[in-house]
Amino acid sequence: MKRCALVTGGSRGIGAAVAVKLAARGCDVAISYRTQRTAAEEVAAEVQRLGSRALILQADLADLGQARSLVHEAAEGLGALHILVNNAGYVQRVPWEELSLEDWDRMLRVGLTAPFVLARCAVPYMREGGFGRIVNISSLRALTGAAHGIHYATAKAGLLGFTKSLALAVAPYGITVNAVCPGFVATEINREALAARGDEIRAQIPLGRVASAEEIAAVVGFLCADEASYITGETVSANGGLRMD
């Protein structure tokens, strides 16, 4: 059966790599983006090169109405929806004393409330299709905290509780829900930090290097596969040994 996936924030970084990985595994993929249309088109072209269908959808997930519409547009455009990867998000580094309530609200809306809305809209399609995988992209900062990104770490930590709770709720339908906590990854979101203190960061990682987006996508691809059918409610840390639980 041809599986259909929605990857939010799929125009670049981890999201782009996940879209390509799922296509390589035979999935048709809907790619959501907020502003990077050209980048999304490039990812879609790679998905199509691999023999899968690609659908490009624009959405600002701070608008929950757009989040709802995104799921329905993906399911209608692809003809089904079996996989949801909640990847969209952003980093904002600011001391907590200077953090505005507006910035706090937007971060939690995009990073935590939108995944809830997306999942709630996606599950009926998964039940109808007889297969469901939800993967939430969290962060190492969910486990360690972040003094200069307290709202980011809070949203990512909330995703872990959401993952476990939703896994319990949808288990009777055979739908699995898992989270991935990447460490430092060589993507645009980390470019500034790696440029400023890359040697220091790599020295702290037992494997001695940062991850590629493709390495994180490989974890997501496995969790979306048939082989992962008995794994649910779990958090997979992919951080090169930087934190071991």
pLDDT per residue as tens, the chain (245 positions): 799 999 999 999 999 999 999 999 999 999 999 999 999 999 999 999 999 999 999 999 999 999 999 999 999 999 999 999 999 999 898 999 999 999 999 999 999 999 999 999 999 999 999 999 999 999 999 999 999 999 999 999 999 999 999 999 999 999 999 999 999 998 887 777 778 888 888 999 999 999 999 999 999 999 999 999 999 999 999 999 999 98
Write out the E strands in the chain: 4-7, 28-33, 54-58, 83-86, 133-137, 176-182, 235-238
Active site residues: 152
- Asked if 113 and 64 count as a contact pair (C-beta separation under 8 A), the reply is yes
The DSSP line for 160-213 is HHHHHHHHHHHGGGT-EEEEEEE-SBSSGGGHHHHHHHHHHHHHHSTTSSPBPH
Structure tokens given for 138:
């969290």
**What is the token pair recorded at 209?**
């290097």
Please give the angle made by the CA atoms of 215, 219 and 224, to the nearest 5 degrees: 140
Domain ranges of the chain: 4-238
| Strands, E assignment, 53-126 | 54-58, 83-86
State the pTM of this model: 0.95
User: CATH: 2.60.40.420, 4.10.320.10, 3.40.50.970, 3.40.50.720. Which one for 4-238?
Assistant: 3.40.50.720
For residue 27, count other CB atoms closer than 10 A to its CB.
Answer: 25
Q: Half-sphere exposure of 99 toward its Cβ, with a 13 Å CA cutoff?
A: 20
